[in-house]
A and B are shown apart, each in its own frame.
Chain A
Amino acid sequence: MDEILFFVAGIAAIVAAAGTVFLRNPFYAVLSLVVHLLSLSMLFLLLYAQFVAVVQVMVYVGAVMVLYVFVNAYVGGGSEPEGGGGPSLRMFSYAIAITLIVTIGIAVLGTGLQAIDGSGPDDIPASFGSPGEIGKLLLTKFLLPFEAASFLLLVAAIGAVVLARRRRGVLPGEERMVAALDLLAPTGTGSMREGVGAINPTPGGFSARITPSTGAGTLPASDDRTGDDSEGGSR
């Protein structure tokens, strides 16, 4: 069963990864990436790394890829690839790709050659891959990389805010502090008095009483009820 699942997940991962690169339509490419990530989480599960597997689905499939799909569905649409960029950009991307391949190759070959002599772990401790174990490792052995990664994410988030403000976002003039009161509904919102136009709830928590300048005077609180009904409201 394990072997069958491994081959199903492995082949699906490879095919979907190839699809991500070669599919012309960006929407399908993103969907292909989703399939790839799901198969990867399957592989993690077979390696007894259940926490990593589930977090992979939660974070990548659930949040990151939904955002990709969202953006693609909104602004994508064209199946034509974007322009290839300048020659310098192209050279830069080749350099990055080659570096990545070499690094991953070293990592895979290194661990693979090491493992090929052994017979695998005889018995996996019950706590292996559990959230507690991973948390312990993150806060002791891998504390520095962990903090560095979270710092990187913080920088990226701030960068996104800055870029959004420059594009359109908030213009200098219209920036204002949001007071806590603004978030509350003004008193009288949704009340019958608002419905008949007696008060005008304004953001900030207060309701201004409307005094009509023309026509009928201010609405008395008690006597008017019968009058309203006789006019035939939309009850």
Chain B
Amino acid sequence: MTSVLAGPLSAINYAEPWYVQIIKALLIFAIGFSLVPLVLLYERKLLGRFQGRPGPNRVGIYGSMQPLADIGKLLFKEQFKPRGAIGWLFIAAPLISMVAALATFPLIPFSGAPQEILGTKVGLYGLDSDIGLLIFFAFSAIGSYGILLGGWSSTSKYSFLGAMRGAAQLISYEAAQGLALLGVVMTTGSLSLSEIVDKQDHMGLWFLVPQIVGAFIFFVATLAEINRTPFDLLEADSELVGGFMTEYGGGRFALYYVAEYVHLVVAGAMFSTLFLGGWNIPFWNGAPGFLDPFVVLAKTLVIVSIIIWIRATLPRLRYDQLMSFGWKILLPLATLNALVTAIVLVAL
């Protein structure tokens, strides 16, 4: 058991005893899950403010119980599927989405050196692998199957169109997203997320400054990858009803919904890890270790707020605009960024 858990995937950094790993796994799952209703409420409140209305304010104090009411309602609804749907795929697709979304959360490092908790040294990350960044991309690739299969197995035209758009969009923006990070990876010399943060610590400079182009491309491509406005073409409520999840209801719809918000949180955390220095607090080098997770969460919150702000501001792109923007602007720009970074790195 230890050879797999402590072996290939976490080869470089500190690996804990097996019971700590199991506790950590459960804890990360719980934290990831409990962030979802918070972000859900935050988004609805913030959207309300942007649109000059109070947002949810009836359930609980200040509307605080609204997400629980939403999720509760969804879970107690009838499970149905369309007559022509392919049963097992229809059931499996939201699960794939959910699992792939949650699997990326443990990759986020929440602190630098392992922290001492109750006498045991514990690294505040699920998995600190030397290929953490690639694992992130691998799981987001698997996540696209959840959308694709869900839309296809519903045997509905709206679902199908949404899923097909999703497939094309995810492939197109995955390339730009990966290339945009090449600058960061080259500067660090590693694919490990905690080493990327360490490098920013040592440089005393967040990657946002030297890699501003990469950060921009990564941010835009991530918006497309997690299907947020203005790239929410696979849902496109005004033209496709609900896109790939048109035929879903009840608990299965809730799975898609929760996966979307997990993606949102992970996107924010990933951006703050890669470009905003992770747990690093500017101009304060001797910050105590217990602050680290809160710093990461605070930076995540900033990014999530920006993403919600964008949702409140921008209209949806047209499909051809989406494609030409991805291939003709983002991808060349990302390649150029990688090239320039390489030249600068060699020249220095």
Chain A residues in the interface with B (C-beta under 8 A): 1-2, 5, 27, 31, 34, 45-46, 48-51, 53-55, 57-58, 61-63, 66-67, 69-70, 73-74, 126, 129-131, 178, 183
Interface residue? B329 (CB, 8 A): yes
Chain B residues closer than 8 Å to A49, beta-carbon distance: 8
Q: Which of B135-143, B206-214, B304-312, B337-345 contacts A (4 or more CB under 8 A)?
A: B135-143
A134 to B324, CA, bound (A): 34
Q: Which of B144-192 contact A (CB under 8 A)?
A: 144-145, 148-149, 152, 160, 163-164, 167-168, 170-171, 174, 191
Residue from A5, A31, A58, A67 having most chain B Cβ neighbours under 10 A: A58
Indicate if the CB atoms of A69 and B167 lie closer than 8 Å: yes
Chain A residues closer than 8 Å to B324, beta-carbon distance: 183
Given contacts A57-B141, A57-B142, A183-B329, contact A5 B4 (CB under 8 A): yes
Indicate if the CB atoms of B137 and A58 lie closer than 8 Å: yes
Indicate if the CB atoms of A70 and B134 lie closer than 8 Å: no
Indicate if the CB atoms of A2 and B3 lie closer than 8 Å: yes
A67 to B169, CA, bound (A): 11
Given contacts A46-B4, A61-B142, A129-B8, contact A66 B167 (CB under 8 A): yes
Nearest Cβ on chain B to A4's Cβ, whole angstroms: 10
A51 to B134, CA, bound (A): 8
Indicate if the CB atoms of A69 and B148 lie closer than 8 Å: yes
Given contacts A58-B138, A62-B142, A70-B167, contact A131 B8 (CB under 8 A): no
Chain A residues closer than 8 Å to B135, beta-carbon distance: 54
Chain B residues closer than 8 Å to A58, beta-carbon distance: 134, 137-138, 141
Nearest Cβ on chain B to A195's Cβ, whole angstroms: 13
A222 to B152, CA, bound (A): 53
A31 to B152, CA, bound (A): 12
9 shortest A-B CB distances, which residue pairs? A62-B141, A57-B138, A1-B1, A50-B8, A54-B134, A70-B167, A58-B138, A54-B138, A48-B8
A212 to B167, CA, bound (A): 45
Chain B residues closer than 8 Å to A55, beta-carbon distance: 134
Given A27-B152, A66-B170, A69-B145, 9 more A-B residue pairs with CB atoms under 8 Å apart are A54-B134, A55-B134, A57-B138, A58-B137, A58-B141, A63-B171, A66-B148, A70-B171, A73-B163
Interface of A is mostly: helix
Indicate if the CB atoms of A50 and B328 lie closer than 8 Å: no
Q: Which of B2-52 contact A (CB under 8 A)?
A: 3-4, 7-9, 11-12
Interface residue? B130 (CB, 8 A): yes
A62 to B96, CA, bound (A): 13
Chain A residues closer than 8 Å to B170, beta-carbon distance: 66
16 residue pairs A–B, Cβ–Cβ below 8 Å = A1-B3, A45-B8, A45-B9, A50-B130, A51-B134, A53-B8, A54-B135, A54-B137, A57-B138, A57-B142, A58-B138, A61-B141, A66-B141, A67-B167, A129-B8, A130-B11
A32 to B144, CA, bound (A): 16
Interface residue? B111 (CB, 8 A): no
A73 to B138, CA, bound (A): 22
Indicate if the CB atoms of B11 and A34 lie closer than 8 Å: no
Report the nearest B residue to A41, measured CB to CB. B138
Cβ contact of A62, chosen from B1, B137, B164, cutoff 8 A: B137
Indicate if the CB atoms of B4 and A2 lie closer than 8 Å: yes
Given contacts A54-B131, A126-B11, A131-B191, contact A62 B160 (CB under 8 A): no
Q: Which of B315-340 contact A (CB under 8 A)?
A: 324, 328-329
